[in-house]
């Protein structure tokens, strides 16, 4: 089960739901079949995406009564396009954290590990762990000991900071 981390700004489950919705409508059952998490995790992610205005919902009448359909907002559609450039499955459960956002913002130019560690004022092992996630998900690149933001990283950051 995914736990909601206070520092998380977009969990892996939320990212998976956004990718799943793309340009279509989905019911709760459809999302549940995607296998993005247990019902508690899915409910939490749906509520968070609704509050972040990345997803919206519509209640429709059908033969069995009523059902709720979920769909992406324009901002959610933009995020879906960016997520398609990323390797979402490489994120830990807490997904994109404030610390990772801070790193993306700092990498406006190429930077060495020492500069990043100095800027963040945290343990180098923690910095390396977060940098590895960002490299693995295609948001930054590493050449030798120099890190820089990628196109998907820039797009993610610009959308997130809107």
* Domains of the chain, residue spans: 8-90, 96-160
Tell me: the pLDDT tens digits for 4-53? Answer: 445 778 999 999 899 888 868 888 888 888 777 788 989 999 999 999 99
Of 76, 57, 60, give the one whose Cα is nearest residue 15.
76
Greatest mean pLDDT among 24-38, 80-94, 127-141 lies in 127-141
Model confidence band, residue 100 (pLDDT cutoffs 50, 70, 90):
very high
Asked if 139 and 153 touch (Cβ cutoff 8 Å), the reply is: yes
The mean pLDDT of the chain is 89
Q: Is the pLDDT of residue 73 over 70?
A: yes
Please give the average per-residue pLDDT across 136-148, as a whole number. 94
pLDDT given at position 64: 82
* Fold designation for 96-160: Arc Repressor Mutant, subunit A (1.10.10)
Of 31, 76, 23, 36, give the one whose Cα is nearest residue 52.
76
pLDDT given at position 127: 95
Asked if 152 and 85 touch (Cβ cutoff 8 Å), the reply is: yes
Q: What is the CATH number of domain 8-90?
A: 1.10.10.10
Do the domains at 8-90 and 96-160 have one common CATH topology? yes
């Amino acid at each position: 089960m995914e736990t909601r981390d206070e520092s998380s700004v977009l969990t892996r489950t939320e990212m998976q739901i956004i990718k799943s919705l793309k340009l279509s409508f989905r019911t709760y059952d459809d999302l549940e079949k995607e296998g993005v998490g247990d019902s508690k995790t899915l409910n939490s992610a749906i509520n968070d995406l609704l509050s972040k205005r990345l997803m919206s919902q519509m209640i429709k009448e059908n033969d069995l009564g009523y059902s709720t359909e979920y769909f992406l907002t324009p901002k959610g559609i933009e995020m879906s396009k960016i997520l398609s450039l990323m390797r979402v499955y490489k994120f830990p459960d807490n997904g994109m954290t404030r610390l990772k956002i801070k790193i993306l913002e700092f990498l406006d130019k190429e930077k060495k590990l020492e500069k990043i560690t100095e800027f963040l004022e945290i343990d180098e092992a923690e910095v390396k762990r977060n940098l590895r996630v960002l490299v693995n998900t295609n948001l930054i690149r590493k050449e030798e000991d120099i890190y820089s933001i990628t196109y998907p990283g820039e797009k993610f950051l610009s959308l997130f900071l809107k």
